[in-house]
Amino acid sequence: MVTRIDQDQLKVPPFDDTKGTGPTLETGAVDGSDSFNSVMSMLKNMLGKTNWYDTPDEDMATLAARAKLENKLILKRAQKIVDVSVVGTGTAQAFVVLGAGEYPSENIAINATTKGAVSAQLAGAVGVGAMTEVAGANALNPKNLCAIIDGTTGAPILDGADRVWGLLQVGNLATDGNPFQAAGNDRGQISFVKPNSTHDDLVLVDFNLMGGKTINYSYIFRDDLNSMSEQAFLPETLFADPTAGVVSLDSAYDGGSVVNVDNTDVDWRLTDTKEFIVSDQAGTTKILRVRALATGDIVELNVAGGLDINGDTDGGTFKATFNGVEIGGALGQVLRTGGNLILKTATSGDILLESVAEIRFTTSRETALPLDDATAGAISALPGGPHASISAAILHAINSGNVSVGVSVLGSNYGRDVNVPGGAGQSIASPHSIDMNTPSGVDTVIFLNGRLLYGGNASTNNDVYAGDTPANGDLKFDFPGGVKTGDVIVSLQW
């Protein structure tokens, strides 16, 4: 039985929760009251409250729930070290549909809380490049962004100065949480993208860039901390951003347009069927095209505005100097700086000089001498013509300075319009003519017994005209009585 004195001795005075911390809370306790005060002081310190009995900010259950970090969802990148061939129509392809062994190992994750490879769901089926994204931290970093490298060299693929990336996507009938498949509704694809010109969003790459390439890729997947592997947070050097260590020709040019070749030679080696091309800004006109072909290399120039070789500054559209021959130094000029200028064909073919006006010849002793002129007319139309060449006209002129005489004495009678063989005593075939109906072409006149006859032709006979074989000098006479035995025929030809 406890007495009143015992009850008074068991009564605890008001608690003191203001004691400090340290080992004196234990060693300094004299009785049970001191021990309780030490415990209450530590409880207040743990709660961070004014008094040990104040309501805590959170209860133990809430704190326990918060402490389960292993269930926290995070995004991590996974590498897919499998060669994926990009095949398109010809060489045009801005996407690739993933086949067996090429798609992610994780399941499809369309919803924001689904664990798996983060995928954007297309409005239709896979098979068309699209900008469908899962929104991320900013427009350049969607959650379905894939890093792309060349499957052969391991180097990043560039479109100009910009790196090529990818967007992991599934068709509109794909099921969230299902595994990727090589056929059916749960197929995946990667659309190839790059930053736009202002680097504030993504755009599809040029269709001709990716066709025929082999790629590796890494994708983003969602998982909880508890399921992450030991090396989950190690940097992925294989897919590291190359902007600090890789320089494209375009970015190098932007850094300075002068390239000093002062150490070794520049040797660009083109494999057969490959080309070196210089295009206009739009890429539609190939200004310079060097083609390496097994059958013979080709250099093509497309220069509608003019070709300038060796620094033409006089406004000509073309200038080149080779082996002492200058073409285009002055507008429309071909100049030989020393020695002869020879134009010739190697084995066959003609050299043609054509002009809508005059063709003139000039030497140091002769001023400009036209080939023909308006007064004399064309060479082909000179008297005795038409002439097939300059030499034919000159020969005719030479022969025209001499007079050829033909004489025949008839041994028979010939009636009217009857052929007299060899009557002229020489050829009267073209280009010769006795036809006075066209006086400018006449170079032969006929005399009969000393009388000059009026020459004609088969239609307008006049006194005399060419017979059956003019080359033999045949004649016909349009006299009612014809010609008689003993008549003398004389022809004068110049």
How far is residue 206 from each of residues 96, 159, 160, 194, 201, measured CA to CA in Å? 14, 8, 10, 10, 16
In a domain, 8, yes or no: no
In a domain, 36, yes or no: yes
Q: State what percent of residues in the chain have pLDDT above 70.
A: 81
Residue 1 counted as domain residue: no
Mean pLDDT value across the chain: 82
Q: Is residue 84 part of a domain?
A: yes
- At 71, is the pLDDT very low, low, confident or very high (cuts 50, 70, 90)? confident
Nearest-angstrom CA–CA distance, 287 and 208: 19
Q: b or e along 162-175 (b: 16 or more beta carbons within 10 Å of the residue's beta carbon)?
A: bbbbbbbbbbeebe
Q: Residues 384-430: pLDDT tens digits?
A: 667 777 777 777 777 666 788 999 999 999 999 999 999 989 999 99
The answer to whether residue 263 is domain-embedded is no
In a domain, 405, yes or no: yes
pLDDT at 88: 64
Domain that holds residue 30: 14-56
Same domain, 419 and 394: yes
348-391 pLDDT tens trace: 888 887 877 777 777 777 666 666 776 767 776 676 667 777 77
Q: In the prediction, which pLDDT does 346 show?
A: 79
Instruction: Say whether both 45 and 77 belong to one domain.
Output: no
Q: Which of 281, 306, 331 is a domain's end point?
A: 306
261-280 burial: b if 16+ Cβ within 10 Å, else e: eeeeeeeeeeeeeeeeeeee
Decide: 434 and 455 in contact? Cβ < 8 Å: yes
Q: Are strands 165-170 and 286-291 parallel, antiparallel or unpaired?
A: unpaired
| Shared-domain flag, residues 426 and 492 | yes
Q: How far apart are CA 96 and CA 88, in angstroms?
A: 8
Write down the pTM of the prediction: 0.45
* Same-domain status, 185 and 136: yes
Q: Are 89 and 232 within one domain?
A: yes
**Which residues, including other chains, have CB under 8 Å from residue 327's CB and lie 6 or more apart?**
318, 319, 320, 321, 333, 334, 335
356 in a structural domain: no
Q: Is the C-alpha dihedral spanning 307, 311, 316, 318 positive or negative? A: negative
Q: Are 134 and 184 contained in the same domain?
A: yes
